[in-house]
Chains A and B, each alone.
Chain A
Amino acid sequence: MSEAARRQRAEDSRILTEAECRQILERAHAMARGGGDTGVSIKSWWQGELRWARNRASLSSDRRNIEVTVIRKTSSGNQGSVVINQVDDIALEAAVRTAERISLMRTGPSDPGFVPKVPEYVRPPSAPIWSEATVGLDAGTRAEVARKMIAPAEAEGFYSAGYLEVRAAAAATYTTAYRDLLTGEYSPVENPYIRWTQAQCSNTVRDATGMGSGWAGLSSYDWERIGSESDALAERAVQKCKASRNPVALEPGRYTVILEPQAVADLIESLVTLLGASGHRGRESAENPLMEHPFQLGYDNATGLMLSKMGLKVVDERITIEHDPMDPRLGIVMSPLERPGPVTWIENGVLKRLGHNFNTGIEALDGINGLHQLRGGTGYRMSGGDTSMEEMIRTTRRGLLVTRFSNIPALPLDSSSMLTTGLTRDGLWLIENGEITRAVRNFRFTESPLFMLNNVEQIGEAVPVFRPTKKETGELTPAIVPPIKARDFSFTSLSDAV
């Protein structure tokens, strides 16, 4: 570790400590007037960033901030809160007062009279999510990594643009509520202090005439996994740029596609978020006849209730999608209330679990005790297969190899089938009789991830992909995804964008 990094660690005040977070609650509660309970939800973050374009670094940054939600529920009111980023006495007191005022302003249903004994919530075991290598990656080292990534592109006469970011973040939610009812250390409405790191590195290499473009990227909680790959990421982007020049235009139509892991991740993103609770997703939505949800089955004649497809096969039986906090490659932030342990969403093609809210029936919990909310997949792992990329290509008579997809809108074209659209980007090649023959102009596709996952021919080894969380306070969203060969993938029009 460099001297600068050592110094930085010694006086590391970049994110708040557990003690500091607890103190904020205690101080806020001490300032409270009007009885009732006080809560705080605290997020703090630090980021080191390096952005480059046209083969030169544009900006190197060191940024940090906190976000404290001060919550007051006075004896005679409902919940009121304010968000601040200063925690000195005056600011905190002013925030507590404002939260109290909002609390008194709010009318609405109040507490039930009886609150049962609250069970203990322990944060389930998980693989590490904090890396010293990430948090210690200083500006000098970042600059060196970037220089080494730019060099091969510049040597070829190409333009490299890219971004390197390391982040440390911490979150905690504490409340004075339910203290006398606790059986464990934390109440169900608290999230004990947790800290994590995230690192990401990506680069786009473009030909000077604008006719070729290649991309490669990786994210992980641990910089070491990326640092050892950064040269390879640059090489891959350069090679794709070279190989993507002078593309030919093909007829739109249905093609067999070999989707690289990044392309698979891009395409199934909307499917993965659909597994979660809240909004138009999760179990409540699937069982709500007023919503269009791909996992809706139909009405049950006996009860008149809408049934979901839980327990039914929804995709190819080789596909399993799970949330496994013990996988060292995943690094998922566990919050005891919302993601209590490993969850298998889809197992061998069958839909096993959907996220649900607090008020969904106890039978939905099967095996997990108590009252909780099951949020959807933040990080996930998709099962892989044995087929290598070379084998996939070799066994394709005619198909397209896709690097990644882009510009997929947030809302699908059709909610029931999840039909969506988007574009191929940074490398598309034609495969003929087992060999890559030509670079191809980008296509717009109109396809459904569910359809693709039901037309799987071969699956390769699952690897970590580029899926960083953009928001500084956001939880980790890693993914392990395999390359997939699928048939009848629908490309609807040409796009001459490069």
Chain B
Amino acid sequence: MSLSRRDLLKITMKAGAGAAVLSGIPGPLLAQLGGVLPESVQSIRDPMIKELALRAVEAARGAGASYVDVRLTRTRQFGYGGRIEGLVVGVRSLVNGYWGFSSGRLWTPDEVARLGRESVGQARALAIGPVREVDLAAVPTPVDEHWTMPVEIDPFEEVSEEEVSDFLGGLKYFIEAHPNFEVPSSPLATFVVQEKAFASSEGAYCTQRLHRSSGAVVLRLKKNGRELSRGLDTLTPAGLGWELFKGQPIREQIRRLMDEMEEDFAMPVKPVEVGRYDVVCDARTIVNLVESTLGTATQLDRALGFEANASGTSYLNAPLEMLGSFEVGAPLLTLTANRSEQGGAATVAWDDEGVRPDEFALVREGVLQDFQTTRESAAWLAGNTKASREIRSNGCATAPTAVEAPLTHTPNLRVAPGSEAVDFDDLVSGIEEGLAVKDMDVSMDFQGLNGMGQGRVYEVKDGKRVAIVAGAGFLFRAPELWKRLVALGGEASMRRYGMASSKGEPEQTTYHSVSAPPAVFEEFTVIDPRRKA
């Protein structure tokens, strides 16, 4: 029996005052009801949602908040991890310089008003404390604006689960058709779409529809009693749709990966010799190094001690003095941040404070230029006169869904490539004696100061990778690491990887992308991490 949209609306009306009206019209779930396809339901743009948001703002203002913002998010997911859908709403209020937050799952007028009042109650409970100044850096307010992240093939409108399942199954057969190769675990794909609405007591109202897709394909090579497993690295989280899979030459990438694995298999293996080496790092290694050092250390809240009880502090711990003058790396290093690149996992039109994020430089020619900021933290940099920009939020306020309060999360990052058109192999050919490393995983200490990396390490002799070095670990100190940067790959050698990052209490996880070229460090300390004292 198929239901027309009109029938559903009738049912909705009957459902009563307490019903979550809008949650009753989920888009693609409707498509399962006997093949009735609704018009592409941009349900987040429904004026009723704006009414709910404004009612929450009203309730909070009525209870005495000087500033209020509201978020409503509808998040849907399918693929690996199953089919998940959630609707949540959260209200944040500022009272006498203290923040309160309240969130829940009911998109009803009564509930959003309750959240509005509750968030003020939460703030008031703190406001009895010593006076606190909160200066929210001014921002242009979006009014009734909407943005849909442009994707070529919307997984939630144009792709069925069967199609995804067939595609992934096809990859599995493709891999297993090759001698000695097998698939230890089935290829995966996950698709997320989030529709969100933001309103503030400054009159802002904007809505967005954002995508995030990701996947994993793992191969195992078994030959002569040995085995080697490796995954494709082209399916990390991205602000893309089904084109992440269909738009890439995945079979070619798999073949190339197979060739690399066969090559590695044939290489002799040597034990690590501790010492200092010139090291050529592939793009993924540079991405991970940037993420763990500068990408994390430049979160302003962390730099000022606001994460001290959680994930830790930052070595860039005197922001006002350091901005514009502190050398964090060699002049070769320029690191920019954005939330606008096509396909970036952190790409949005407005952040979770309604700020339109600009592209900004964190590091220019080795010198620290800026920090990742929100409206409140941007104002803390007002005392610095050396930085070349005006005081405004960089748009880094992000919350995974409306049930969490926004925190400063890393945006998309980009390490500027070198001017010469060289790639990883070209950089290796320039090394007489040294090492090359791919896919380095990095772990830092709680101050982001000392790090250790482990990855696939090769001995380089006379410009060629000649052997695999087993059990090598790379030790470094973040402030010194980037000063030893001596060469960068060119534009064509840039690669982008999406990743998750977690922080906060309670802990929350968001996603962003980092792009970098391969690069060379001199005098990198190499140790045997398994050696005990």
Point out residues on A near B: beta carbons under 8 Å: 47, 49-51, 53-54, 56-67, 81-86, 88-91, 94-95, 97-98, 101-102, 105, 138-140, 142-143, 147, 159, 161-163, 165, 202-204, 206, 210, 213, 215, 252-254, 406-407, 409, 413-414, 419, 421, 423, 425, 442, 444, 446-447, 470, 472, 490-493, 495-498
Contact = CB atoms under 8 A, between A and B. Distances in A.
Given A61-B122, A413-B529, A495 B11 contact: no
Given A82-B83, A491-B533, A497-B450, A57 B98 contact: yes
30 contacts: A53-B309, A59-B99, A60-B122, A62-B102, A62-B119, A63-B90, A67-B86, A81-B83, A82-B82, A86-B20, A88-B15, A90-B25, A91-B26, A94-B33, A105-B162, A138-B125, A139-B125, A143-B129, A147-B129, A165-B505, A206-B305, A206-B308, A215-B309, A406-B446, A407-B445, A413-B530, A423-B445, A472-B506, A490-B532, A497-B449
Interface string B231-260: 000000000000000000000000000000
Contacts, number: 220
A64 B309 contact: no
Contact of B507 (A98, A254, A470): A470
Contact of A63 (B26, B101, B312): B101
B475 A161 contact: no
A498 B533 contact: no
Nearest to B108: A88
Contact of A88 (B20, B99, B533): B20
Nearest to A494: B450
Counting from the closest, the 4 A-B pairs by CB-CB distance are A90-B24, A139-B125, A497-B447, A490-B532
Interface in B13-32: 15, 19-20, 23-26, 29-30, 32
B20 A60 contact: no
Most buried by A among B123, B126, B450: B126
Given A101-B32, A165-B505, A496 B449 contact: yes
Contacts of A97: 29, 32-33
Given A62-B101, A94-B26, A163 B532 contact: no
Interface string B92-128: 0000001111111100000000000011011101101
A85 B86 contact: yes
Most buried by B among A54, A147, A442, A497: A497
Interface residues of B, number: 75
Nearest to A95: B29
Contacts of A53: 305-309
Contacts of B121: 62, 139
A45 to B, nearest CB: 10
A253 B506 contact: no
Given A53-B305, A91-B23, A163-B310, A495 B445 contact: yes
Contact of B446 (A82, A102, A407): A407
A442 B12 CA distance: 62
Contacts of A142: 125
Given A88-B24, A162-B309, A407 B82 contact: no
B446 A497 contact: yes
Interface in B501-533: 505-507, 527, 529-533
A98 B30 CA distance: 9
Contacts of B132: 56
Nearest to A442: B445
Nearest to B301: A53
Interface string B310-323: 10110001000000
A59 B443 CA distance: 29
B452 interface: yes
B218 to A, nearest CB: 15
Contacts of A470: 506-507
Contacts of A213: 308
Contacts of B531: 446, 492
Contacts of B505: 49, 51, 163, 165
Nearest to A139: B125
Contacts of B154: none
B382 interface: no
Contacts of A101: 32
Nearest to B125: A139
B444 A407 contact: yes
B308 A161 contact: yes
